[in-house]
Amino acid sequence: MSTIDTKTVKHVAFLVRLGISEEEAQKFSAQFSSIIDYFNMLNEVETTGVPSASDIANAENVLREDAVQPSMSREEFLKNAPQSERGYVKVPTVLGEE
Amino acid sequence: MQLHTLTIQEAHQLLVTKQVSSVELTQAFLQRIREIDPKIKAYVTVSEELALEQARKADERIAKGENVTPLTGIPFSIKDCISTRGVRTTCSSKILENYIPQYNATVTDKLAQAGAVLLGKTNMDEFGMGSSCENSAFFNTHNPWNLDHVPGGSSGGSAAAMSASLAAFTIGEDTGGSVRMPAGFCGVTGIKPTYGRVSRYGLIALASSFDCIGPMTRDACDCATVLEHIAGHDPLDSTTYQSPISNYTQNINKPIKGMKLGIPKEYFVAGMEAGVETALQEAIRACEKLGMEIHEVSLSHTKYALPVYYLLLFAEASANLARMDGTRFGLSVSEGAKDVIDIYLQTRREGFGDEVKRRIMLGAYALSAGYYDAYYLKAQKVRTLLRRDFEAAFSKVDILLAPTSPTTAFKLGEKTSNPLEMYLSDIYVVATNPAGVPAIALPCGFSKDMPVGMQLIGKHLDEQTLFQVAHAYQQVTDWHKRNPKIS
Amino acid sequence: MTQYEPVIGLEIHAELITASKMFCGCSADYASAPEPNTNICPVCTGLPGALPVANKKAVELAALVALALNCSINKHNTFARKNYYYPDLPKGYQISQYELPIAEKGWLEVHSGSSSGAASAAYRDPSRVRVRRVHIEEDTAKLFHEKNYALVDFNRAGVPLLEIVSEPDMHSAEAALDYATKVRAILRYLGVNTGDMEKGVLRFEANVSVRPAGSDELRTRTEIKNLNSFRALTRAIAYEIERQIQIYESGGTVIQETLGWDDLRGVTTSQRSKEEAHDYRYFPEPDLPPLQFSDAWIESIRSQLPELPEAKTARFISDFGLTPSEARFLISERALADYFEKVAAAAKSPARTVHSWIAGELMRYLNDSGMSIEDMTLSPASFARLIDMTTDKVISSNSAKVVFNEMLASGGDPEQIVKEKNLAQVSDENEIQAIVEKILNDNPAEVEKYLAGKETLLQWFMGQVARATKGKADPNVAKELLVKSLEERRK
Ligand SMILES: [Mg+2]
Ligand SMILES: [Zn+2]
């Protein structure tokens, strides 16, 4: 039985930027362990030399010509933004660098 | 005359012969939605004003005899994950509860150009994550055949709307059975086309490499008509096929005699509800009577389809849903936020339901350093084996027949406490999505007074054969003509 | 004290000059956008449901750069999602390339490859820096940090960006500068990037570690981000080398981290984000099919490669007899080199004379007027005729400057200007001798002082001749005749 402990749950929650409480972490930890256990079934399958399906596509070299299309309206765009200022999208202070 | 039970073809005849106007037809559906939908709860949003405006325009087109298509003036609904400019598009999630797209999905545009009339947006499991429509953040949708039962998912709202005659056709979306499974539960016809046959532009992505938009209709013929209008290459979606689409409706009566029908043995195993098994066996016999050759085939990796599907879906969804961050659109929970990270954490915590949270966390897990090879990459390799299974089967037969679910529609609340058990209800419908092949679901009987669904699975890009066989079957059966009595 | 050897690698982000963005049809020219958020669409603002479609031109330019950097093109290459959250990244992931980038395994010649510290046995080839990979990605939006909030402009979001990653093959700040300069010159030669670092179209990141000289080990490295000028690049690397040496010397350990460069204080600063370790969860981009290149396609791109700076320098030295520094000056800009070649081809004068005109008068003019060589209206043919007129002593060098300025001002041709302004050089000895005699006769006091030993007065006499002839007298002839006539008066 795999175990995904609450520390791991909290780590992946932060990776996907989900606020999570201790209680939730415990609930998810139990659920994840049984789901991951089920996924481990794939270990039965021999896949040596089998290519990844992500490399098999409908088409290749789907490219568009380098031509400019008109912009969407800024007003329309900002209508959905929770906060904006002087034509910019406004967000709280950004700490840390990416 | 009951306007709401007409097929598209029948309605089209009445429209072009001016026996009924699109406005009348639209009003009939709007009236029925007002009366019946409070019981079914298929619609998240009804776009009445837009519908009447589109209906008036359709009537003008018909009056002038300009640009009249088989869909001109026909009222339809669309799953709430497909963008409609100016009409709220929520994915049945709190995080998009008030999101009004600034642009149309390609499918929405194509239907508008054809002159179809948008009635509204249908309920679904949040972001398509679920098999019963119980993961909608807003409300449960009820199965029109028995209101205590689920309609299936995730396109449960679309299936219920079709089954309860709340639209002349509806557009669903199938990532791992989300059109076919609820079509089966609600007794309607629905197709998951070949991956890349219908543009995904404007479809709010669940799993980009699986997502397929497909119509749900009264019968195979209507299904062919709608698909003809929405399929085709789209310069805005790099994954759409360039190859032309055939004229599905014109060719739908072509003979199926002598075609080889494969029965995948892995789909007929213990655990299937007895009434489902009986209905499927009768359907096979009906096909045989229609002159098809029946062959048993094997899709040997079938049992791995579910873990492959869910792992890859979780991974892709974890990235696809990252843009719901509370800064440009949708819900934004900013109280007390000291930093933009607080907005992300709070918004996503409040905006997403538990199933979404589970899936994006597990997706991040499957992709994270140290687990990528064991989970994501392993699943992609087994996915290749799943595709090869279908290729091998289609080297022997023309088409496959299988159930859409091991049971008929289960009761509301029956499976909500155990996520894994809920995942297992998709067991028969998921494999086609990793493989990319098309499949059509259609009703084939009843078990315990609930509809039983079967699916026909075809070769890549061979929707034509699916329509021919489904149509031939519907010529000799009447399951698709039965309507629920909504109490 | 232990001798240390720095080990440096560079990551270069270069925007590609295209009309539209990498994955949508919005204009990529964010620099000329008059207002924020005016070159946007559902794709580059990450609206739900929008999908990317790759820009053909950007892919071609990326391959062109890769070939110029001696890379092998991956015939099969794929896009990938790099997942992280930041308000300048609208989708929550950047479309980039990971496992299979467009090109790998290139190299570039560097001249100051030698270490400023001790020489090391670990050098592979001190004259080469290897290029590990070149990949295509999309630029982020522009973020403006205000006091209590930040503002986002998506005009830059999705502009095609090339990432060029070197191996850690540089061992001094000078070597890093040389490599960076060369990459910039190549990008400019290819016309794919203006090289304007102030505008952020070209950005550097350095990873730095130090190790005892002569050792092969790779010690913990730090990454310095956002180096936006060559000066910042060299100063930051030099500072970081010294900082790490100090840590080791005092018995400490260097920790792996991302640093920023504080240009005002001249120090690197720790920039730890909240997330201690990055886990980008790369995976193949399902929205974009792989790129598949044929040999013929790669060759057609290769055939578009212009002569690159390195080859051009060598040719200027061998074909034109220029010194290496003269050649390097001329090739510093492709337009300058092209202009030089056109003038040199049209002129009968030696190429080095053409070089000195360009390096002297032309550069002075460009600097004074703030114009660039691309703005030059003076045709190479007229310029060549002017240079030849001085070489042939048709006009004096002083007159030539007058003609040069007139040509730039009025656009006239040199012969016409010489004629109109009556600037033809007087080389006739009799004519000049008569003027010399008159000057000496008119200035007996100066003649006397000269003959008494104040030989610097010769310059004054030269000036008188120039004045009397309005600068037309051949200065060599005038000088010769002056000396002869003065000496004759000694007797
Ligand atoms: Mg990068
Ligand atoms: Zn755009």
Render pLDDT for C7-32 as a digit per residue (tens, 0 to 9): 999 999 999 999 999 999 999 999 99
C-alpha dist (Å) from residue B1 to B5, B6, B14 = 9, 9, 11
Q: Do the chains contact at B384 and A4, CB–CB below 8 Å?
A: no
Rounded Cα gap, residues C480 and C465, in angstroms? 12
For the stretch B206-216, pLDDT in tens is 999 999 999 99
The alpha carbon of B425 is separated from its chain's Cα centroid by a whole number of angstroms, namely 16
Q: What average pLDDT does the segment B11-18 reach?
A: 97
pLDDT at C322 over 70: yes
Q: Is B39 a domain residue? A: yes
C-beta of residue B269 within 8 angstroms of C-beta of residue B407: no
Q: Name the strands in the sheet holding C93-96, side by side, starting at the edge strand that comes first in the sequence.
A: C93-96, C80-83, C283-284
The pLDDT of residue B445 is above 50: yes
State the distance from the centre of ligand 2 to the C-alpha of C95, rounded, in angstroms.
Answer: 14
Taking the centre of ligand 1 as the mean of its atom positions, its distance from the CA of residue B370, in whole angstroms, is 21
Chain A residue closest to B234 (CA)?
A62
User: Is A20 in contact with B349 (Cβ distance < 8 A)?
Assistant: yes
Q: Is B147 helix (H, G, I), strand (E, B) or coil?
A: coil
Please tell me the predicted confidence (pLDDT) of residue C375.
Answer: 82
Pairs of CB atoms within 8 A across B/C: 101
Whether the pLDDT of residue C120 is over 70: the answer is no
Q: Which of A31, A45, A95 sits opposite B419 (nearest CB)?
A: A31
Nearest CB to C53 within list B203, B236, B322: B236
What's the rounded Cα separation, in Å, for the pair B65 and B362?
Answer: 54
CA distance B129 to B155: 10
Our count of domains for chain A comes to 1
Indicate the range of A62-66, B259-263, C486-490 predicted with least confidence.
C486-490
Q: ω before B155 within 30° of 0 (cis)?
A: no
Q: Are B186 and B443 in contact (CB under 8 A)?
A: no
Q: Is B326 on the interface with C (CB under 8 A)?
A: no
Residue A45 sits at the chain C interface (C-beta within 8 Å): no
**Best of A15, A16, A64, A65 to mutate (most B CBs within 10 Å, chain B):** A16
Distance B483 CA to ligand 1 centre (A): 57
Give the pLDDT of residue B205: 98
Q: Which residue of C has its CA nearest to A78?
A: C37
How far apart are the C-alpha atoms of C266 and B244, rounded to whole Å?
Answer: 63
Q: What is the pLDDT of residue C469?
A: 80
A30–chain B Cβ distance below 8 A for any pair: no
Q: How confident is the model at residue C403 (pLDDT cuts 50, 70, 90)?
A: confident
To the nearest whole Å, the CA of C367 is away from the closest chain B CA by: 46
Per-residue pLDDT averaged across B45-65, rounded?
97
Res C277: pLDDT: 60
Q: What phi, psi does A3 have (nearest 5°)?
A: -125, 130
Contact at CB, C84 and A98, closer than 8 angstroms = yes
Retrieve residue B421's tokens: 């058990």
421-440 of B, contacting C, C-beta below 8 A: none
**Domain count within chain B:** 1
Please list the active-site residues of B: 79, 154, 178
Interchain contact, C55 vs A64, CB within 8 Å: yes
Which residue from C45, C49, C288 is facing B328, i.e. has the nearest CB?
C45
User: Could you tell me if B478 and B291 are in contact, meaning their C-beta atoms sit under 8 angstroms apart?
Assistant: no
Q: Do B362 and A12 touch (CB under 8 A)?
A: yes
Chain A residues with CB-CB distance to C53 below 8 A: 62-64
> Looking at chain A, which subunits does it touch, using at least 3 CB pairs closer than 8 Å as the criterion?
B, C
Mutation test of the interface with chain B: which of A8, A9, A58, A95, choosing the one with the most B Cβ atoms within 10 A? Answer: A58
Question: How many whole angstroms from C163 Cα to the centroid of ligand 1?
Answer: 6
Contacts of C43 (CB under 8 A, 6+ apart): C21, C23, C24, C26, C50, C51, C52, C158
Q: Does residue A54 lie within any of the structural domains?
A: no
Q: Which residues, 6 or more positions from C265, have their beta carbon under 8 angstroms from its beta carbon?
A: none
Residue B86 domain-assigned? yes
Q: Are strands B212-217 and B169-174 parallel, antiparallel or unpaired?
A: antiparallel
pTM: 0.90
- Mean pLDDT value of segment C388-402: 80
Residue A57: its chain C contacts at CB < 8 A? 289-290
Q: Looking at beta carbons, which residues of chain A come within 8 Å of C286?
A: 54
The pLDDT-based confidence of C418 (bands split at 50, 70, 90) is confident
pLDDT of residue C124: 52
Residue numbers in A near C35 (CB within 8 A)? 74, 87
Locate the chain B residue with the closest alpha carbon to A92.
B340
Separation in Å, CA of C243 to nearest CA in chain B: 31
Any domain includes A26? yes
pLDDT at A2: 67
CATH number of domain containing B145: 3.90.1300.10
Q: What is the whole-number distance in angstroms between the Cα of residue C165 and the centre of ligand 1?
A: 9
The DSSP symbol for A71 reads: P
Please tell me the distance between residue B316's alpha carbon and the centre of ligand 2 in angstroms.
22
Q: Is residue B427 part of a domain?
A: no
Which residues in chain C touch residue B315, judged by CB atoms under 8 angstroms apart?
283
Report the pLDDT averaged over residues C321-336: 90
Quick one: pLDDT at residue B419? Answer: 79
| Ligand with an atom nearest the CA of residue C101 | 1
Q: Which residue has the tokens 């790759």?
A: C54
Confidence of residue C383 (pLDDT cuts 50, 70, 90): confident
Domain coverage including residue B126: 3-258
Q: Which residues contact C441 (CB under 8 A, 6 or more apart)?
A: none
The answer to the question of residue B200 being in a domain is yes
Check CB contact under 8 Å for B83 and C49: yes
Mean pLDDT over the full length of chain C: 89
- Distance, in Å, from the CA atom of C36 to the CA atom of C287, rounded to the nearest integer, reads 28
CB C138 within 8 A of CB C99: no
The domain C429-490 having CATH identifier 3.40.640.10: the answer here is no
In chain C, whose CA is at the least distance from the CA of B89? C48
**A85 is a domain residue:** no
More confident residue, C268 or B467: B467
For residue C339, is pLDDT > 70? yes
**Closest chain B residue to A57 measured between Cα atoms?**
B239
The ligand with the least distance to the CA atom of C140 is 1
Q: How many other CB atoms are there within 10 angstroms of residue B83's CB atom?
A: 28
Interface of C with B (CB under 8 A): 42, 45-54, 81, 83, 85, 87, 90-93, 150, 152, 274, 279, 281-283, 286-289
Per-residue confidence band for C123, with pLDDT thresholds at 50, 70 and 90: very low
Tell me the nearest-neighbour CA distance from A90 into chain B, angstroms. Answer: 8
A90 and C151 in contact by Cβ < 8 A?
yes
Ligand 1 centre to CA of B239 (Å) is 25
A64 and C56 within 8 Å at the Cβ level: the answer is yes
Kindly give the distance from the C-alpha atom of residue C124 to the centroid of ligand 1, in angstroms, as a whole number.
27
In this prediction, residues A17-33 reach a mean pLDDT of 94
The chains in contact with chain C, meaning 3 or more Cβ pairs closer than 8 Å, are A, B
Q: How far apart are CA C464 and CA C476, in angstroms?
A: 14
User: Sign (positive/negative) of CA torsion C78, C82, C87, C91?
Assistant: positive
- Which residues of B fall within a CB distance of 8 Å from A80? 99-100, 102, 328-330
Residue A31 lies in a domain: yes
Q: What CA–CA distance (Å, rounded) separates C213 from C241?
A: 13
Q: Which ligand is nearest to the CA of C11?
A: 1
Separation CA B380–CA B326 (nearest Å): 32
Query: Positive or negative CA dihedral for C449, C451, C453, C459?
Result: positive
At C423 the pLDDT is: 66
- The residue among B109, B129, B233, B126 whose CA lies nearest residue B171 is B109
The reply to whether B309 falls in a domain is no
Compute the distance between CA of residue B234 and CA of residue B218 in angstroms, rounded to an integer.
27
Q: Would you state the pLDDT for residue C272?
A: 63
At position C272, the amino acid (one-letter code) is R
Q: Which residues of A touch B310 (CB under 8 A)?
A: 35, 39
Enumerate the domain spans of chain C.
4-300, 309-420, 429-490
Other beta carbons within 10 Å of B300 = 16
Mean pLDDT for the stretch of residues A56-64 = 81
Instruction: Give percent above pLDDT 90 in chain A.
Output: 79
In a domain, B223, yes or no: yes
In a domain, B240, yes or no: yes
Instruction: Give φ, ψ of C365 to 5 degrees.
Output: -60, -45
Share of chain C above pLDDT 70, in %: 94
pLDDT band at C276 (very low <50, low <70, confident <90, very high): low
pLDDT of amino acid C293: 95
Q: What count of CB pairs under 8 Å joins A to B? A: 170
In the reported structure, the alpha carbon of residue B235 is separated from the centroid of ligand 2 by a whole-number distance in angstroms of 14
Q: Which residue has the higher pLDDT, C478 or B95?
A: B95
User: C47 CA to middle of ligand 2, Å?
Assistant: 10
Question: Which of the two residues, C215 and B144, has the higher pLDDT score?
Answer: B144
Check CB contact of A63 with chain C, cutoff 8 Å: yes
Determine, yes or no, domain membership for A15. yes
